[in-house]
Amino acid sequence: MAPSPDDRFAAALRGFGPLGILAILVILAGNSIVVPLSGILVLAWAKLSRTPWREIGYVRPESWIRTLAVGVVFGAGFKLLMKAIVMPLLGAPPINQAFHYLAGNTAALPAILYVVIFGAGFGEETVFRGWMFERFGKLFGTGASANTMPVRLGLIVLITSIWFGLDHYAVQGLPGVEQATIVGLVFGTLFAITGRLPMLMIAHAAFDLTALAMIYVDVESEVAHFIFK
């Protein structure tokens, strides 16, 4: 039996022909219109291409409460580690000038909270971890042996982390690239191991909310100099 038009359309979206490449370009361009359009487009692509949700990391946790708790603690702790130890060692300035306007700026909180929760937590994790891992996995081939699988996953983690880092250059400059690349390596490695996005989405939002809290109460410098005076 010949495949139906819907089957051919779904297969074309999953592939890397003209329609598949067009879908990739549209998804990548989404956030330039509105945040988090790219993440929403990924979900639409998954449905239309008949890609199982689990292949982009949308796997229901065994316990939402445990996942929420782990994500919040991990994300907040990771941000404090980055701010107090990692970034000072890299020579980053103690104040993030790109977002310092948020210090004490209550009026700006609703908009930035929207970006943090939906743009970063949902959008960036869906695109840079779930979707990109699926796309690069298909591009590099699904027939990898058990011996080559770690190498392939490591390459995907590296590519997506560098891409994630460079995506932060326009707003935050080199320090933003350095921090985002490290975050991408850590989150990407966890995703490569677990194949699950929910905890990472929560952790990403908690990471950025912790950063926002430090900026809002204007204690960035104190945290950055907490260990390295």
Determine the average pLDDT of the residues in 97-125.
96
CA distance 61 to 220: 34
Output the CA–CA distances (angstroms, integers) from residue 49 to 45, 73, 106, 156, in the order listed.
Answer: 6, 35, 42, 22
Q: Which residue has the higher pLDDT, 102 or 147?
A: 102
Instruction: Tell me what the mean pLDDT of segment 123-147 comes to.
Output: 85
Q: Where are the domains of the chain?
A: 1-51, 61-224
pLDDT, tens only, 64-79: 999 999 999 999 999 9
Residues 6+ apart with CB under 8 A from 81: none
Spatial CA neighbour of 104 closest among 223, 218, 221, 222:
218
pLDDT at 200: 98
Q: How many CB atoms lie within 10 A of CB 134?
A: 22
Render pLDDT for 165-194 as a digit per residue (tens, 0 to 9): 999 999 999 999 999 999 999 999 999 999
CB-based contact 194:203 (threshold 8 Å): no
203-214: per-residue pLDDT in tens? 999 999 999 999
- Structure tokens given for 220: 């960035």
Residue 129, pLDDT > 80, answer yes
